[in-house]
Structure 1
Amino acid sequence: MEQIRNYFEQLVGISDKDWGIFSSKLKKTDYPKKFSLLKAGETESHLSFIEKGVVRLFIPKIDNDLTFGFCFQGQFVSAYDSFLSRQPCTYQVETMTPTTLWRISHEDLQFVYANTNVGNTIGRLAAESQFLIKSGRELSFLEQTAEERYRELFKKRPNLILEIPLKYIASYVGVTPQALSRIRKRIS
């Protein structure tokens, strides 16, 4: 929980009273590897902060899932469009490693917004975090080759290869596993 408080302290500062209200609504949960946090067709009920672990967002397909996002320690994770709209999600959210999350429900977050001085700022920061991840991903597909996306991913997360199967990394950078093997051979 201190990791979350430090996150907010660095960005906006948070009074003991506001932290008490916010932290009282957080629930810590540990999940095993490959645990489905949200399935397609379900409505996202939580905004989560990753204390430890890696989470994957993907569209389930019969042949190969389409991975479009990874979230890591120190980041928020949510099917945020479903969380905001209260509509069923079209994709899934799954742990890639044993994962510890601090979660707040939609209802409890609304309470925090209404009853703290910093609540709206917390919500804005979480939304901005989700937006930056999404826009960065979109821009990478418009401006970079698959090889550049692969290099950038490992520049930001060098130990990723130890935690995530290559088929998911290939899907994330937009190539087949065979094409990713060729890219890896070329740059090694």
Structure 2
Amino acid sequence: MNPLQDLLQQIQEQELWEQELELARNEYLKVSGSKDTRVYFVASGSLRAFVTDEEEEHTIRFAYSGDLVAALDSFVTEAPSPLYIQAIKKCSLKVLSKKAFLELVSASPQNMQHWQNLLLQLVYQQMEREQDLLTSSPQERYRRVLERSPRLFQEIPHRYIASYLRMTPETLSRIKKS
């Protein structure tokens, strides 16, 4: 079993979910300047995490059904963060407090190893993305993300994919046609 599935199974068996949330399309789970230390399981739907500057939104990550999502910066520091998390499609989420999650992770060396593995996967994915953004052409970024995450193109509107790839929607459209 993979680390995420093992932890999710334990959360379910121990009935640790504290509540369920429904988000409408475009509704925010978290807004910039707020603190949120909870962990969410995406039962259905999809979300995006992004930050803004004066001119535009910059999409950082996506979450789909079956994923965990959190404002990791706020989770770790317990401070407000500039991150937004928004539903792209109608979402059903299950909610777990930081305290309950960390108690589960600390309950066994295996759980701690699962958590560390999940964090290492996240760090690796971020490093790959940063490298792509810094060194790859738009065409290469598109090709690599298509290879890594074909699900992205099935579930996420192109304007958000373009933001994630740091290109305009028009550039993405041209690349897809070529």
How far did 1:175 drift? 1.1
Residues 20 and 135 (structure 1 numbering): CA distance in 2 closer, same or farther, change over 3 Å? Answer: closer
TM-score, scaled relative to structure 1: 0.76
Q: Which residue is equivalent to 1:25? A: 16
> Within 2, Cα distance between the matches of 1:162 and 1:111?
36
Q: Which residue is equivalent to 1:85? A: 77
CA displacement, residues 21-60 of structure 1 (integer Å, 9 cap, x when unaligned): 8742224433222221111111122122333322211113
SS in 1 for 2:89: coil
Over aligned residue pairs, what C-alpha RMSD do you find? 3.1
Mapped contact 1:83–1:106 kept (Cα < 8 A) = yes
Q: Which residue is equivalent to 2:29? A: 37
Residues 161 and 123 (structure 1 numbering): CA distance in 2 closer, same or farther, change over 3 Å? Answer: closer
SS in 1 for 2:129: helix
How far did 1:130 drift? 2.8
Q: Which residue is equivalent to 2:6? A: 8
Residues 43 and 122 (structure 1 numbering): CA distance in 2 closer, same or farther, change over 3 Å? Answer: farther
Matched residue type, 1:30 = E
Matched residue type, 1:33 = R
Instruction: Decide which moves more: 169-178 or 138-147.
Output: 138-147
Q: Which residue is equivalent to 2:113? A: 121
> Within 1, Cα distance between the matches of 2:92 and 2:14?
16
SS in 2 for 1:25: coil
Q: Which residue is equivalent to 1:54? A: 46
Mapped contact 1:49–1:103 kept (Cα < 8 A) = yes
Number of residues of Structure 1 aligned to a counterpart in Structure 2: 177
1:79-158 pair list within 5 angstroms: 79-116=71-108, 118-158=110-150
How far did 1:162 drift? 4.8
* Runs of at least 5 residues in structure 1 that lack an aligned partner in the other structure: none
Matched residue type, 2:6 = F
> Within 2, Cα distance between the matches of 1:110 and 1:48?
14
For residue 71 of structure 1, the aligned residue among 53, 63, 69 is: 63
Mapped contact 1:40–1:89 kept (Cα < 8 A) = yes
Mapped contact 1:76–1:126 kept (Cα < 8 A) = no
Name the % identity: 23
Mapped contact 1:4–1:49 kept (Cα < 8 A) = no
Mapped contact 2:3–2:114 kept (Cα < 8 A) = no
**Residue 172 (structure 2) pairs with residue 180 (structure 1):** yes
Q: Which residue is equivalent to 1:168? A: 160
Residues 55 and 168 (structure 1 numbering): CA distance in 2 closer, same or farther, change over 3 Å? Answer: same
* Runs of at least 5 residues in structure 2 that lack an aligned partner in the other structure: none
